[in-house]
Amino acid sequence: MVGVHELLKVFHTGRGPVVACDRISFEVQEGRFFTLLGPSGCGKTTTLRCIAGLERPDGGEIELAGRVVYSGRSRVFVPPNRRDIGMVFQSYAIWPHMTVFDNAAFPLQAGRLRLSGPLLRRRVAQALATVRLDGLEDRPATNLSGGQQQRLALARALAREPKLLLLDEPLSNLDAKLREQMRLELRELQRRLRITTIYVTHDQVEALSMSNVVAVMSEGRIAQIGAPREIYERPASRFVADFIGSTNFLAGRVTGPAGDGLVRVETAHGPIRCLASADALPGTDVLVSVRPEDVEVVPDSGLAGNLDAWKATVEQAVFLGESLDCRLTVDGLKLRARVHPSIRLRRGDHVSVSFRPERCVAIRPGAETT
Amino acid sequence: MAQAAPASATVFRPPRRVRLSAQQLLPVAIALLVAYLTLLPFIFLLYGSFFTPTVGGQAGVFTLQNYVRAYTDRSALPVAANSIVFAVGTMALAFAIGTMLAWITERTNTPLRGMFFAVSLIPLIIPGILFTLSWIFLLSPRIGMINQWLMGLLGLGGPPFDVYSMGGMIWVEGLHWSPIVYLLMSAAFRSMDPALEEAALMSGSSVLQTFARITLRLNVPTIIGVCLLMFLRGLETFEVPAIIGIPAGIHVFTSKIYLAVKAYPSDFGLAGAYSTNLLLLTLGGVYLYGRVTREASRYATVTGKGFRPRVIDLGPWRYLATALIIAYLSVMVALPLFVLLWNSVLPFYIKPSLQALSMLTLENYTFLFGLPKTTRALINSLVLSLGSATIVMFATSIIAWITVRTKLRGRWVLDNLASLPLIFPGIVMGVALIWVYLTLPIPIYGTIWILLVAYVTRYLPYGMRTASSSLVQIHRELEEAAEISGASWWRTFVRIVLPLLRPGLLAGWIYIVIVSIRELSSSILLWGPGAEVLSIYIFDLWNTGHPQELSALGLMMVGFLFLLALISRRLSQRYGLRHEA
Backbone phi, then psi, for A197, in 5-degree steps? -130, 135
Would the CB atoms of A87 and B481 count as touching at under 8 Å?
A: yes
Residues A145 and A150: their CA atoms lie apart, in Å, by 9
- Which residues touch B479 (CB under 8 Å, ≥6 apart)? B405, B492, B496, B497
**Closest residue to A52, CB basis, from B12, B478, B484:** B484
- What letters, b where the CB count within 10 A reaches 16 and e where it falls short, cover B407-416? ebeebeebbe
Instruction: For residue range A4-60, list pLDDT tens digits in order.
Output: 999 999 998 778 899 999 999 999 999 999 999 999 989 999 999 999 988 889 999
Q: What does each of the 581 residues of chain B score in pLDDT, given as a tens digit? A: 344 444 443 334 444 444 455 566 777 888 889 999 999 998 888 887 887 766 555 666 777 777 787 777 777 788 889 999 999 999 999 999 999 998 888 878 888 777 777 777 778 888 999 999 999 999 998 888 888 888 888 887 888 889 999 999 999 999 999 998 998 888 888 777 666 666 666 666 777 777 777 777 778 888 888 899 899 999 999 999 999 999 999 999 999 999 988 888 888 878 888 888 888 888 888 888 888 777 666 554 444 444 455 567 777 888 888 999 999 989 998 999 999 999 898 887 777 777 777 878 888 888 888 888 899 999 999 999 999 999 999 899 989 988 888 877 778 888 888 888 988 899 999 999 988 988 888 888 889 999 999 999 999 999 998 888 888 888 888 999 998 898 888 888 889 998 888 888 888 888 899 889 989 999 999 988 888 999 999 999 999 988 889 999 999 999 988 888 888 777 766 654 443 32
Q: What is the pTM of this model?
A: 0.76
Instruction: For residue range A178-230, list pLDDT tens digits in order.
Output: 888 889 989 999 999 999 999 999 999 999 999 999 999 999 999 999 999 99
**Residue B362 exposed, middle or buried by CB count within 10 Å (0-12, 13-18, 19+):** exposed
**Model pLDDT, residue A292:** 92
Would the CB atoms of A87 and B12 count as touching at under 8 Å?
A: no
Cα B64 to chain centroid, rounded: 33
**Closest residue to B486, CB basis, from A68, A74, A111:** A111
| CB within 8 Å of chain A, chain B residues 502-521 | 502
Q: How far is CA B473 from CA B91, B199, B480, in A?
A: 32, 34, 15
Backbone phi, then psi, for A24, in 5-degree steps? -85, 140
**Closest residue to A89, CB basis, from B5, B481, B491:** B481
Task: Write the secondary structure of B489-527 as one string of H (helix), E (strand) and C (coil).
Answer: HHHHHHHHHHHHHHHHHHHHHHHHHHHHHHCCCCHHHHE
Would the CB atoms of A85 and B484 count as touching at under 8 Å?
A: yes
Would the CB atoms of A107 and B477 count as touching at under 8 Å?
A: no
Q: A288 to chain B nearest CA, in Å?
A: 41
Residues B526 and B541: their CA atoms lie apart, in Å, by 18
Closest-CA residue of B relative to A94 is B478
- Closest listed residue to residue A9, CA positions, set A77, A67, A84: A77
Instruction: Residue A80: list chain B partners with CB under 8 A.
Output: 480, 483-484
Residues B61 and A3: their CA atoms lie apart, in Å, by 68
Neighbours of B433 (CB within 10 A): 26
Neighbours of A114 (CB within 10 A): 10
Would the CB atoms of A81 and B13 count as touching at under 8 Å?
A: no
Instruction: Residue A53: list chain B partners with CB under 8 A.
Output: 483
Closest-CA residue of B relative to A167 is B481
Parallel/antiparallel/unpaired status of strands A33-37 and A350-355 = unpaired
Residues B20 and A78: their CA atoms lie apart, in Å, by 11
Best B485, B491, B577 residue to mutate vs chain A (most A CBs within 10 Å): B485
With an 8 Å Cβ cutoff, is B409 touching chain A? no
Best A106, A143, A144 residue to mutate vs chain B (most B CBs within 10 Å): A106
Closest-CA residue of B relative to A2 is B1
Q: What is the mean pLDDT of chain A?
A: 89
Instruction: For residue range A131-141, list pLDDT tens digits in order.
Output: 889 889 999 88
Closest-CA residue of A relative to B502 is A97
**Closest residue to A67, CB basis, from B8, B16, B580:** B8
Instruction: Residue B14: list chain A partners with CB under 8 A.
Output: none
Chain A to chain B Cβ contacts (< 8 Å): 110
Q: A135 to chain B nearest CA, in Å?
A: 20
Element holding B118 (H helix, E strand):
helix B113-119
Best A4, A11, A76, A108 residue to mutate vs chain B (most B CBs within 10 Å): A76
Instruction: Residue A68: list chain B partners with CB under 8 A.
Output: 5-6, 8-9
Residue A328 forms beta bridges with which residues? A314, A335
Residues A222 and A37: their CA atoms lie apart, in Å, by 9
Instruction: Residue B19: list chain A partners with CB under 8 A.
Output: 79
- Closest listed residue to residue B549, CA positions, set B363, B379, B373, B376: B363
**Closest residue to B484, CB basis, from A87, A96, A97:** A87
| CB within 8 Å of chain A, chain B residues 4-63 | 4-6, 8-9, 12-13, 16, 19
With an 8 Å Cβ cutoff, is B2 touching chain A? yes
